[in-house]
Structure 1
Amino acid sequence: MTPGNNGASTPEDEDPFGYLYADGQARGAQPPSGSGGYGYPNAVSRVRSVGERTYGGQQQAPQAPPYGGQTIPQQQQQQPGGGGYGQPPSAAYQAPETFPGGAQTTRQQTPSSGRGRGPNTKGLLIGAIAVVAAVVIGISVAMMNGNGDDDKAGADTSTPPAQSESPSATPSSTSSVSASGDIPPIDAKALRLDGGASLASDVKGAKSDGGIYVGNFNQAGASITWTVNGVTEAGKYTLFSTYGVPGKDASATLTINGTAQDRPINLGNFAKAPAGDYEKGWTNTWADITLNKGTNTIKISCEQGNQCDVNFDQLWLKSGWK
């Protein structure tokens, strides 16, 4: 070559499209021929067919693409990752995704539809709803039961408390007259006790519920009081009493509506019990009294001059005098 026109010395200096320009045509640039050459005369031609590679001085012929329309050199088919052990990696290898129509590397998420492929969110949701529903039902039932208990408690408050056996704490008892004018027996534990009188049950034979009677009456000031409500007509009534004495006569003062009667109530040993035998001394007595219409109080007490060694069991009233 002459110093004036040496041509392109390197492939980088060659212009494959020089034949399109006037200066290139002046320098002899030619369009590509059927053999694949193009450019200036004596230019270094680097044109190769697609898929043709040269390694180690040997040219590898292209092979038909096995799939996807891409050409994979033989060495790449044998050694996808490069050369053999101890050899440099094959320059001909390219990742499949670089070829048109090649395999896609983007990982596709397969929807979970089979058993064992993920949590069953629908089942978990149904279970959670069932648990919440069970809790709500339980709370509702507990609240309903609580209201029922409160109602029962409120109803129970209307029941009068049990009367204490302490004489000072026992209120006046009350009773109502029946249609016939009679008043049924009232037990000793329903009477008001004062002055040391107290309830007892060690002596057998009392007719009151549980065999309970009024004892400790043998002292001045001891008394029992019965309040009678609803007397429909004022007039004459007979007071009856069941009592027990230890084989000897006794007596007590009878007071009607705050007025002491002239005659004490007779508590004789009508059962003919032996001395000291309270159990065989149970008997009954009566006294004529006059009551007002409405509420009346009947009191039996141990006063000065009375013989009060006696136990009281029941009291009741009948209309008229005996």
Structure 2
Amino acid sequence: MTPGNNGASTPEDDDPFGYLYADGQANGAQPPSGGGGYGYPGSVNRVRPVGERQYGGQQAAAPTAQYQQPYGQTVPQQQAYGAQPNAAYQAPESFGAPPTQQPPSYGGGRGGGRGRGPNTKGLLIGAIAVVAAVVIGISVAMMNGNGDTKTGDQAGSTPSASQSASSSPSPSSSASDAAELPKIDAKALLLGGGATTASDIDGAKADGGVYVTGFNAVGATLTWNVSGIAKSGGYRLYVNYGVPGKDATATLTINGTAQSRPLNLSNFAKAPEGNYEKGWTETWASVQLNKGTNTIKISCEQGDQCDVNFDQLYLVNG
């Protein structure tokens, strides 16, 4: 068959490309224009989807049979020609520009940033704050403990009246206070009951080494009429004395009132028995004095152990 219009009665016999040949052009074949059909005049010009044709008003479906690929693989049945596309599918260009994809968030970072780990900086700051608080608490506790210990030591260092009456004072404290209050040597005391002065035993601190002796008899006394007391209150009476390596006692009377406990004249020097020269030492007792003049008396009373020599008497604030 030659190209051109051979008088076919059906659209299938039209040669859509007849206009390309000389004999087709001679028979009036025209190229398509403006949405018209191909080929010769009077040819069928219908617009239809690919794969679909109308025969007697019915739609011809595309073959649906399966076919075999080599090696026995079966290809599933294809969608019929002319069928409507799946409603779930739409071409990307129908939606305009493609949506911007957000990068996946892996969590864990501040603000949900990508690939960030846990907030280690915040954890580090928190740990440092806890350690600092613990260190400050320990420092405060140690400071408070030191303050309490110091206070306790100060409270315990002050002796009671009963302790002071039976202990030997330190020479440094007594010497500093003695300059402020009256002091008297043995030779200036008022003696009675057989007591007298002597200077044959070395070691006495009084002027000229004079001391009171002959006191080892009931009724022996020495009296100090002290004046110049600026105010009434408590004082300490210091007594320098010597014993022959053994303890002694005497009665102390202030302004006519005997003290409830004897004056402690123990062998604080630890002298051997019978040695007066090595037995010189010092003791003190708490006394209450009035402002102005007061009378202080030491006596050997019944029950006292009076084998003792006296050297000096003086007062300190107490």
TM superposition score category, shorter chain reference = 0.3 to 0.5
TM-score by length of 1: 0.43
TM-score (norm 2): 0.44
- Rg larger in structure: 2
